[in-house]
Chains A and B, each alone.
Chain A
Amino acid sequence: METLIQAAYLIAAALFILGLKQMSSPVTARRGILWAGAGMVLATLVTFMSPQILDSDQVSTNIALIMIAIALGGGYAWYSGKKVAMTDMPQMIAMYNGMGGGAAAAIAAVELIKASNEAAHDVTGNAAVADMLGADVAILGILGAVIGTISFSGSIIAWAKLDGRLNRSRLLPKQHIINALLAIVTLGFAVAIYFTNSIETIIIFYLLALVLGVFITVPVGGADMPVIISLFNALTGLAVGFEGYVLGNAAMIIAGIVVGSAGSLLTQLMAKAMNRSVANVFFAGVGTNVVATSSSGNEGVMKEIQAMDAGILMSFASQVVIIPGYGMAVAQAQHKIWELTQILTEKGVSVKFAIHPVAGRMPGHMNVLLAEAGVPYDMIYDMEDINADFKNTTVALVIGANDVVNPSAKTDSSSPLFGMPILDAIDADNVIVIKRGRGTGFSGVENPLFFADNTKMLFGDGQKAASELIQAVKEL
């Protein structure tokens, strides 16, 4: 039986890897998640037959508890996952990820408490956790506990911040120093667990790690949140891999470490796209130093355009590039924009969508939102593919995007955005910006594009402005 279970785990691990691989192309991505899902179902089912579980003194109670817990946790997640709006996807991923971290930490807790009890009742009466588990298992188990717990509480804070339930970005003065001290104390307790058999040490250790996760995440600015979520995703993977070692479970080790390394790379890619280093995200939020620079005077005035004129301009354009930002999704304008695109295409205008790597609130988030509205993925272009094309573009239509088209990222070394790769909308013959008001973007930085000679502002709510444009284009 044991061999059969191990074989099933191996198949599951292979399905996870193949599934993730297929997710690397939009053509096969759907199949990828189905494969990975099949692996998960297989692994879960065979675990019920695990001798470890069946040989337990409390086998019936424990199996009943397992089923109830799966029904409750799975049921809640199924319901919330089906219901969540595509715009709220980042915080939902953060939440599910936090659950995984919490589960890994809880597994470690069971193992550590068990070992601690055994050690306390050892014949010598003075054994430590490490003596019971062995050095390797104890070290990886405790490491997984720290990482999993931080990922758990940190992800919950990330969820709360993105969901608009928590707006504070500071808890205490000198937060970073306090965080550093707290991290040292937590590690101290982690070492103490290893060398003692005290339950109290384990409890204090978990409480400290929980607080640490909260303290690390609270100061992180909204724009940096995707990096943090991705990092926590990678960390949960690591924690799962480590706890897999503790339990001698190959599927957990492989899946966990694959996610750990994939997630680390993804985190770096995201941070790079946003011109931030991962360390930077933790130790200085954009929001904290921006206030001083945002007042640097902008010359010129914004020129307004009416929807009618904008519609004429676009109808007779040879190429229109639409640059959507998260503001478009907030206004729920993506369906209108797709309608507008279809009308323009019928008129013979070439329409493309240009997506900045961090458009939306996560890399790729905007693609999901456009896909939801029905935009085919081959009309959507990445930054590198489209930037040279702006010179041949009659109209660049910016809707709900701001920082990602801010030319000061290239020209003004004092700008907090300086160095961030941007979409060169400014190179287009005409730029039309749909914007609700005259305020600044997510990062709070003024945007010189709005004052440029070839830029016209179409003020109004995204959805209303898009409807007006459709009306204008239709009437021609």
Chain B
Amino acid sequence: MIEGLAAIYIFMLAGFTGYEIISKVPVILHTPLMSGSNFVHGIVLVGAMVALGIAETTTEQVIGFFAVLLGAGNAVGGYVVTERMLEMFKPSDKKKEGEGS
């Protein structure tokens, strides 16, 4: 369903998007951002669920189980630590504009 040229378009546009997003991030947010992007590729969980869902033999089920286990770890862990970090960022009492880089 996503094949050939269409896939190449998606790859290319997604690549540019990623580049655009990060080029505007101030250094102070680099660690949360790395963690946040780490969370985003936790979407692998969805693929892992399909892989385990279509498993037919025990071997496939074992590997698929492993995939979901790890994928869930990636997604949940990435979310928890990113949220914890971002929650702490607070401005001074007098509210100023974000400082930029």
Interface residues of A (CB under 8 A from B): 9, 12, 16-17, 19-21, 23-27, 29-30, 32-34, 36-37, 40, 43-44, 47-48, 50, 52-53, 56-59, 61-63, 65-66, 68-70, 72-78, 80-82, 84, 86, 89-90, 92-93, 95-97, 99-100, 102-104, 106-107, 109-111, 113-114, 117, 136, 152, 229-230, 233, 236-237, 240-241, 243-245, 247-263, 265-266, 269-270, 355, 357, 360, 362-365, 367-368, 371-372, 374, 376-382, 384-385
Contacts and interface: CB of A to CB of B under 8 A. Distances in A.
Interface in B48-96: 48-57, 59-61, 63-93, 96
A44 B88 contact: no
A23 B36 contact: yes
Nearest to A266: B22
B46 A261 contact: no
B63 A109 contact: yes
A261 B15 contact: yes
12 contacts: A19-B36, A26-B89, A33-B82, A58-B61, A65-B61, A69-B65, A72-B72, A100-B42, A104-B44, A254-B14, A364-B34, A377-B91
Interface in B13-62: 14-19, 21-57, 59-61
A27 B98 contact: yes
A44 B45 contact: yes
B49 A248 contact: no
Contact of A376 (B37, B38, B71, B92): B92
Per DSSP, chain B at the interface is helix
Most A C-beta atoms less than 10 A away, residue of B21, B40, B73, B86: B40
Most A C-beta atoms less than 10 A away, residue of B19, B50, B73: B73
Nearest to A75: B76
A52 B68 contact: no
Contacts of A367: 27-29, 31, 89
Contact of A266 (B26, B34, B40): B34
A40 B43 CA distance: 7
Contacts of A357: 27, 30
A107 B14 CA distance: 22
Contacts of B38: 93, 96-97, 100, 233, 236, 259
A50 to B, nearest CB: 6
Given A23-B86, A37-B79, A107-B47, A70 B32 contact: no
A12 B77 CA distance: 18
B46 A43 contact: yes
A58 B99 contact: no
Contacts of B65: 65, 68-69
| Interface residue tally on B, bucketed by range | 35 or more
Contact of A103 (B2, B67, B93): B67
Given A249-B46, A364-B29, A257 B56 contact: no
A175 B93 CA distance: 54
Contacts of A63: 53
Given A57-B56, A76-B73, A81-B81, A30 B89 contact: yes
Contact of B31 (A26, A261, A365): A365
Contacts of A371: 85, 88-90
Contacts of A84: 81
Contacts of A89: 31, 35, 81, 85
A378 B42 contact: no
Given A62-B55, A357-B30, A367-B28, 15 more contacts: A20-B36, A26-B98, A36-B36, A40-B45, A77-B73, A100-B44, A109-B67, A114-B60, A229-B34, A253-B7, A255-B41, A257-B18, A262-B33, A263-B34, A381-B99
Given A259-B40, A377-B89, A378-B91, A362 B34 contact: yes
B13 to A, nearest CB: 8
Nearest to B43: A255
B18 A106 contact: no
A346 B22 CA distance: 38
Contacts of A74: 72-73, 75-76
A172 B80 CA distance: 38
Most B C-beta atoms less than 10 A away, residue of A19, A24, A73: A73
A70 B80 CA distance: 15
A351 to B, nearest CB: 12
B21 A20 contact: yes
B10 A250 contact: yes
A82 B84 contact: yes
Contact of B39 (A36, A250, A251, A380): A36
Contacts of B31: 89-90, 93, 360, 362-365, 367-368
